[in-house]
Amino acid sequence: MKVIVGKDLLSANAGQAGENRVLFNNNRVTVINLISAPGSGKTALLEKTAELLRGKLKLGVVVGDLYTTRDAERIERAGVTVVQINTEGVCHLTADMVARALQEVSLDQLNLLFIENVGNLVCPVSFDLGEHAKVALLSVTEGSDKPAKYPGIFREAVATVISKVDLLPYTDFDLPACLEEIQKINSDQQVFITSARTGQDLSHWCAWLEQLAAGKAKGNNLASR
C-alpha cells in the first residue's frame, strides 16, 4: 500500500503559502504565525501588543479558532482589524484558509499581521501559511518540559514568548530548565519572559516586533523579501 495523502496535502499547501508570501511582500506587510497550546494567552498577548503598538505600527490579526468568535471579538475591542477563520474542528490553519481570510483584509493598510493559529503545538508547525516568522508562545501554567516534548515548534520559531510569568510563584514551572531546553533546541532565538497582566517584558517584545517589521530582526523568510 502506498500512502501519499499527507505529502500531497503539504505540497499543495506550500504552493498556496508561496502565493500568500508574494502578496504579503507586495504589500510590505510583515507576517507572524503565532503558535501555542490552547489557553496559553495568545489573545491576551495580542490585546496588549495592540495597545502598546498603537500609533507605531498598523496591526491586523487573522484568528484561527475551532468554532467560536470570542477571541476575535476581544482583539477587535483593542482597535485592530480582525478576521476570524472558523476551522470547523480542523486543528491547524492552512495556507488556503489564510488566503480566503486575506480577501477581507486591506493588506496595504497594515505593517504587521499576526496569524493566531489554532491552539495546538503539533501540526500547525508543518503548514507554512506564507508567514515571515513563526513565534511560539508558552505559558507557565503549562509544563516546563513542553519544549522537550514538542521540539518542532521551538526549532522553527524565531522567538518564544513565555507568558503569565506573574503566576510563576503558584506553579511548578521550572523557568531556568525551560530556558535551557529552548536554548538547546534553538540557540538562535529571542525569548521574552512576559506577563500580559503586569506588562512585564512587553516593551522588549514590542521593540522586537518593530525591528522585525522594519526588516532588522531575523525571521524565517525575511531574506526572500
Which partner, Zn ion, Mg ion, none, binds residue 42 by CB below 5 to 8 Å per kind? Mg ion
- Residue number, 83 or 217, with CB nearest to Mg ion: 83
> Which of 36, 21, 30, 87 lies closest to 59 in space, CA to CA?
30
- Residue 42 as a binder of Mg ion (CB under 5 A): the answer is yes
- Residue 47 as a binder of Mg ion (CB under 5 A): the answer is no
The secondary structure element, H or E, covering residue 23 is helix 5-26
Which range touches Mg ion (CB under 5 A), out of 5-13, 36-44, 186-194, 205-213?
Answer: 36-44
- Residue 43 as a binder of Mg ion (CB under 5 A): the answer is yes
Which partner, Mg ion, Zn ion, none, binds residue 91 by CB below 5 to 8 Å per kind? Zn ion
Which range touches Mg ion (CB under 5 A), out of 42-50, 51-59, 97-105, 202-210?
Answer: 42-50
- Residue number, 75 or 112, with CB nearest to Mg ion: 75
Q: 189 is written with which cell numbers?
A: 532565538
Question: Angle of helix 42-53 relative to helix 70-77, nearest 10 degrees?
Answer: 20
Residue 66-105 contact track with Mg ion, rule CB under 5 A, x = bound: -----x----------------------------------
Which range touches Zn ion (CB under 5 A), out of 4-12, 61-69, 87-95, 196-204?
Answer: 87-95
- Residue 91 as a binder of Zn ion (CB under 5 A): the answer is yes
The CA distances from residue 109 to 61, 80, 81, 100, 106, in Å, are 13, 12, 10, 18, 6
The secondary structure element, H or E, covering residue 133 is strand 133-139
- Residue 36 as a binder of Mg ion (CB under 5 A): the answer is no
Q: What is the CA radius of gyration of the chain?
A: 17
- Residue 123 as a binder of Zn ion (CB under 5 A): the answer is yes
Which partner, Mg ion, Zn ion, none, binds residue 117 by CB below 5 to 8 Å per kind? none
Q: Is 17 left (phi over 0), alpha (psi -120 to 50) or beta?
A: alpha
The secondary structure element, H or E, covering residue 170 is none
